[in-house]
Structure 1
Amino acid sequence: MASKGETRWLHPATAMQAMLEGANHNNLFLNVYTLTLCSAAPLQHHHVRQALLHLFRKVPTLRLCLKRRDGLLWMCEMDHEEIDFQVVEGDSNQVTEDLGTYKYNVSEGPLWCARLLSKEKNPMNPRTDIESAFPYTCSLALGNHHAIADGTTNTFTIEFFLQILNDVIAGKNIDDSKQMAEYKGAKELDDLINAQDKELEKDPARLEVLLKEIKEGPQEQPLLCRVLPPIYGVPYKSRFLETVFDTDTTKRFITKCKENGITVNSGVVALLNVTLMEYMREAGLKREEYPIQAAHAVNMRRYLPKEMSNIIGAHITLLVNTLMVPANWQDSFWNYAKQVHKEFLKGLVSDTVEYLCLIRRAYYYNDSFQEAFSKPSPPSWDHITATMGNLDTRIITEGNHVRLGHLLRFSANAFDPLMHMYHTFRGRLCFSVTYSVNLLSEETAQKMIDLFVKILNSQV
Structure 2
Amino acid sequence: MRSTRELCTAVRRGVTAIRQVTATRGTHVKSTNDGVQQTRNSVAGSRLVTRSSSGLAGSSSSTIQTTTDDVHNSIHSRPVSTHPDTRQVQSATSLSQWVDNEKKWLFPADSRFMKMFNVVKNGANGQGARITYKSKVPITPQMMETALHCLTRKANSFRTCLQYRGDELWVVELMKPDLDFKVLEGVTNVEQELMDLIVQPCQLFEGPLWSARMLLPQEGHQDTNDPYPYTCQLLVSLNHAIHDGVGLYWIIFWMLEMLDKILSGVQINDQPFGILHSGFEYRQEEDKIRKELLKDPLTLRRLLNEQAGKNTIPLIAEAFGLPEDENPVTIPLETEVISGQIMEQLVKKCKSVGVTQNSYVLAAYNVALVELIQEAGLDRDVYNITNIIPINTRRFVTESGFHLGCYSMPLHHTTSTPKDVKNNFWQYAKEIDNSVRGEMKNKKFLTDSVLDMMLQEEGHIIPNTQCDFPPLKYDYTFSNIYGAPMPSSAVGKNIKLDYFCNLNAIEKTSVGSISAMSSHGKEAHIKTCNSSRYMTEETASRWNKIIVRILLHEAM
Q: TM-score, normalised by structure 1?
A: 0.91
How big is the shift at 1:426? 0.6
Which residue in 2 is equivalent to 1:402? Answer: 495
1:115 to 200, 207, 213: 213
1:100 to 198, 205, 215: 198
SS at match of 1:19: helix
Give, in whole Å, the separation in 2 of the partners of 1:382 and 1:188.
31
Taking structure 1 as reference, are residues 279 and 352 closer, same or farther at Cα in structure 2, changes over 3 Å only? same
Matches within 5 A, 1:73-88: 73-88=169-184
Between structure 1 and structure 2, the one with the greater Rg is 2
Counterpart amino acid of 1:20?
Answer: M
Which residue in 2 is equivalent to 1:139? Answer: 233
Q: TM-score, normalised by structure 2?
A: 0.76
Taking structure 1 as reference, are residues 419 and 447 closer, same or farther at Cα in structure 2, changes over 3 Å only? same
Conserved in 1, the CA contact under 8 Å of 2:161 and 2:173?
A: yes
Matches within 5 A, 1:367-382: 372-382=465-475
How big is the shift at 1:355? 2.2
Give, in whole Å, the separation in 1 of the partners of 2:437 and 2:463.
32
Which residue in 2 is equivalent to 1:34? Answer: 130
Taking structure 1 as reference, are residues 76 and 381 closer, same or farther at Cα in structure 2, changes over 3 Å only? same
How big is the shift at 1:188? 1.8
1:347 to 435, 439, 443: 439
Provide structure 2 residue ranges, at least 5 long, that are not aligned to the other structure.
Answer: 1-81, 83-97
Provide structure 1 residue ranges, at least 5 long, that are not aligned to the other structure.
Answer: none
Matches within 5 A, 1:312-351: 312-349=404-441, 350-351=443-444
Structure 2 residue 520 is matched with structure 1 residue 425: yes
How big is the shift at 1:113? 1.0
Judge which range, 9-18 or 441-450, deviates more.
9-18
Counterpart amino acid of 1:256?
Answer: K
Counterpart amino acid of 1:341?
Answer: D
Conserved in 2, the CA contact under 8 Å of 1:291 and 1:323?
A: yes
Conserved in 1, the CA contact under 8 Å of 2:253 and 2:486?
A: no
Give, in whole Å, the separation in 2 of the partners of 1:134 and 1:353.
46
Conserved in 1, the CA contact under 8 Å of 2:512 and 2:534?
A: yes
Counterpart amino acid of 1:154?
Answer: L
Conserved in 2, the CA contact under 8 Å of 1:302 and 1:309?
A: no
Superimposed CA distance per residue, residues 282-322 of structure 1 (whole angstroms, 9 cap, x where no aligned partner): 111111111001111100012232x4462111112111121
Structure 2 residue 324 is matched with structure 1 residue 232: yes
C-alpha RMSD of the superposition: 2.6
Taking structure 1 as reference, are residues 70 and 269 closer, same or farther at Cα in structure 2, changes over 3 Å only? farther
Structure 2 residue 527 is matched with structure 1 residue 438: no
Give, in whole Å, the separation in 2 of the partners of 1:319 and 1:439.
21
Superimposed CA distance per residue, residues 237-293 of structure 1 (whole angstroms, 9 cap, x where no aligned partner): 211112122222222222222221111111111111111111111111111111001
Which residue in 1 is equivalent to 2:290? Answer: 197
How big is the shift at 1:234? 3.4
Give, in whole Å, the separation in 1 of the partners of 2:166 and 2:417.
48
Which residue in 2 is equivalent to 1:25? Answer: 121
Which residue in 1 is equivalent to 2:481? Answer: 388
Conserved in 1, the CA contact under 8 Å of 2:181 and 2:212?
A: yes
SS at match of 1:332: helix
Conserved in 2, the CA contact under 8 Å of 1:22 and 1:369?
A: no
Conserved in 1, the CA contact under 8 Å of 2:107 and 2:278?
A: no
How big is the shift at 1:21? 0.9
- Size of the aligned set, in residue pairs, is 451
2:266 to 160, 165, 172: 172
Higher relative CO (Cα under 8 Å, sequence separation at least 6) belongs to: 1
Which residue in 1 is equivalent to 2:43? Answer: none
Judge which range, 325-334 or 246-255, deviates more.
246-255
1:279 to 352, 356, 372: 372
1:157 to 251, 255, 269: 251
Identity of aligned pairs, percent?
Answer: 25
SS at match of 2:482: strand
Give, in whole Å, the separation in 2 of the partners of 1:212 and 1:131.
64
